Structure 1
């Protein structure tokens, strides 16, 4: 069967350009499926290259060269949806797929659903409408990006325009979901969203692939013989990822406990805006931003941590949380989005409400004291995560989904 992916990253064509240091989960999925003899895989993605197609290790790659329009041009001109659709159809005509798989319902690729009779399945990632609902932390609004320091001009403009931009993207995503017949996802959260927006659609459950550096690794978490409490978080830049919660919680730990702790935040480099907004200096509360780390460095940091904290206000199935579980790191995570499909509270991790710094501070203190609880969370989460992200099981399930869709066709 000929399967054409529309990917939000260059996948294995150039895995080091997608900010994941060794490839993200789509690259990991390609690694799993590209050697399947019954599948001829094509991958389409945005990339600064004008050539139509490349062939590499049996996979056909279609880079889409595009130039980002400024927000002013977007305001003054009509959508370039038609132009994009024509180019996507050109790629489809060249590859001649039996089935098209789109990664993410929130991107421009969804326009394909309205322009082809070839079966299309959308592989859910996030979902903008509920993300829009949780866009800003409590106490933050668009005006903060005008008055507070610590942001580049680009990030400042993104913040000011976040509300209307997310509203527009949310409506476009709902339109995309309503125009597609097949969906693939991995949590009850994204399944419920599909049922809400498109009750006549068919939903298939398929787990997420993780990076080899985490799945095929002899290292795993162990409790360190040290009085130092090491907290790790791996997040990205959007406002809803919980940087404010980290600062607030660290401040409470400093004030109300005698813990000798350090909180390393990977994935972001600059949190000056949050420091200014919430009047909390990272250095004063033992928080250090680590930027983007190599996979080897991240594995080592996680394996020597006391716990992993996921502070996001909204998420579907964050890779960073799953990677921590695979290594056996005790996880504390906000009870939002699809995270409850990854964590059974009290067994494979601990869930706490969003925007609950007092609760989180108490939980960090508890997990440092209760070694038995930490070991139990570690053992059960690692066992579940290894089964959940098993590459062979994911390959078999993906092929099964492809066949079921083609049979219905």
Structure 2
């Protein structure tokens, strides 16, 4: 069975390039698929490389040149998608796959659904139409990126054009979903969106792979013995990931409680925009920006924390939460997108409304003082995550999905 992936990362071809906190889940999934003798795998991905094809440990890798245009060229209507599609079709012709798997309906690879008769299954990641709906937190808009001080030109430009860019990409994603027959995902949220946009689609449930440091390591969370409350969050740079909520909540903790706390934020390098926008200085409210971390370093940081907070305004099933659950951290997470499918409220974590700093402040105060509840949440989270992310179960599920599609198509 010849399976060709179109991936948003280079996977195991260059795992160091999956730079966000030390690696990616697609690389973890490739490690699982490599162990299945009935699958001959090819992986295509955007990468600044001139060679057409590489063969390594039985996997065929196809770097797709990163067709980049300047901002001025994009404004003038230049479109790199035709070049990407042409190169992708050349890869398909060379590899001759029985089935194509595309990671993410939101990227340009989804356009291939309209250019080949080979069966395609899209592995849902996020989904831009609801992301666009939650693009800016309350009190923020694109004009903040014109006037707020301390922004890099890249971040400023990204914010200014985000509304237009998200709107166009969201419409493209709807069309992609409407042109594809098969999908796989892992939450009721992404399943519902697929059904909304394409009532004739077939949806398969498949859990997501985690990195080996979280699966096979011996380290697990234990409640710190000292009285200092160590909060940890692992997020990314976009403003809809909730950095503003972290600053607002930390400010309330400092102002309204006597809690001795520190809040470490991984995955973000520069928060001057949020500090200037909300007039809250991170270090003055005990928030520390840690940048990115390799997976083993992140495991240590998580295990030495008191609780995990996920502040995002929109998400599907972030692996950062799944990894924290695998280690047993007590979880506080916004009840948005697909999070209610991976965090069972009151059992394996606690969900709270988005943009609710006062609610989150009170939850942190209560949970950090309730060691018995922390232990209960931890035990339940480990049990759930261990079953959900079992590599052998994922391999069998994925193989069954492939076989079902090829049998029915």
User: In structure 2, what is the Cα distance between the partners aligned to 1:85 and 1:258?
Assistant: 58
Contact 1:52 1:62 in 2 (8 A): yes
After TM superposition, give the deviation of residue 223 of structure 1 in Å.
0.6
After TM superposition, give the deviation of residue 20 of structure 1 in Å.
3.4
Partner of 2:138, secondary structure, is coil
- 1:346 maps to 346
1:96-133 Cα distance to aligned partner (Å, 9 max, x none) = 00000000001110111001110000000001110001
- Following superposition of structure 1 onto structure 2, how do residues 267-286 of structure 1 map, counting pairs within 5 Å? 267-286=267-286
- 1:224 maps to 224
- 1:183 maps to 183
Mean CA deviation greater in 70-79 or 233-242: 70-79
User: In structure 1, what is the Cα distance between the partners aligned to 2:98 and 2:324?
Assistant: 37
Contact 2:68 2:80 in 1 (8 A): no
- 2:62 maps to 62
User: In structure 2, what is the Cα distance between the partners aligned to 1:193 and 1:46?
Assistant: 27
User: In structure 1, what is the Cα distance between the partners aligned to 2:390 and 2:150?
Assistant: 42
- 2:296 maps to 296
User: In structure 2, what is the Cα distance between the partners aligned to 1:354 and 1:238?
Assistant: 15
User: In structure 1, what is the Cα distance between the partners aligned to 2:252 and 2:136?
Assistant: 22
Partner of 2:262, secondary structure, is strand
Contact 2:69 2:80 in 1 (8 A): no
Name stretches of at least 5 consecutive residues in structure 1 with no aligned partner: none
- 2:400 maps to 400
Partner of 1:313, secondary structure, is coil
Contact 1:264 1:289 in 2 (8 A): yes
- Following superposition of structure 1 onto structure 2, how do residues 20-59 of structure 1 map, counting pairs within 5 Å? 20-59=20-59
- Following superposition of structure 1 onto structure 2, how do residues 5-404 of structure 1 map, counting pairs within 5 Å? 5-404=5-404
1:25-53 Cα distance to aligned partner (Å, 9 max, x none) = 00000000012110000000001111110
Contact 2:23 2:294 in 1 (8 A): no
Partner of 2:362, secondary structure, is helix
User: In structure 2, what is the Cα distance between the partners aligned to 1:27 and 1:198?
Assistant: 29
User: In structure 1, what is the Cα distance between the partners aligned to 2:196 and 2:21?
Assistant: 36
Partner of 2:151, secondary structure, is coil
Q: TM-score, normalised by structure 2?
A: 0.99
Partner of 1:264, secondary structure, is strand
1:180-224 Cα distance to aligned partner (Å, 9 max, x none) = 000000000000000000010000000000000111110000011
Partner of 2:217, secondary structure, is coil
User: In structure 1, what is the Cα distance between the partners aligned to 2:364 and 2:19?
Assistant: 29
Partner of 2:136, secondary structure, is coil
Contact 1:242 1:313 in 2 (8 A): yes
Name stretches of at least 5 consecutive residues in structure 2 with no aligned partner: none
User: In structure 1, what is the Cα distance between the partners aligned to 2:293 and 2:275?
Assistant: 22
Alignment coverage as a number of residue pairs: 409
Mean CA deviation greater in 303-312 or 13-22: 13-22
After TM superposition, give the deviation of residue 78 of structure 1 in Å.
4.4
User: In structure 2, what is the Cα distance between the partners aligned to 1:251 and 1:22?
Assistant: 30
After TM superposition, give the deviation of residue 295 of structure 1 in Å.
1.1
Partner of 1:66, secondary structure, is coil
After TM superposition, give the deviation of residue 21 of structure 1 in Å.
5.0
Partner of 1:222, secondary structure, is coil
User: In structure 2, what is the Cα distance between the partners aligned to 1:214 and 1:66?
Assistant: 32
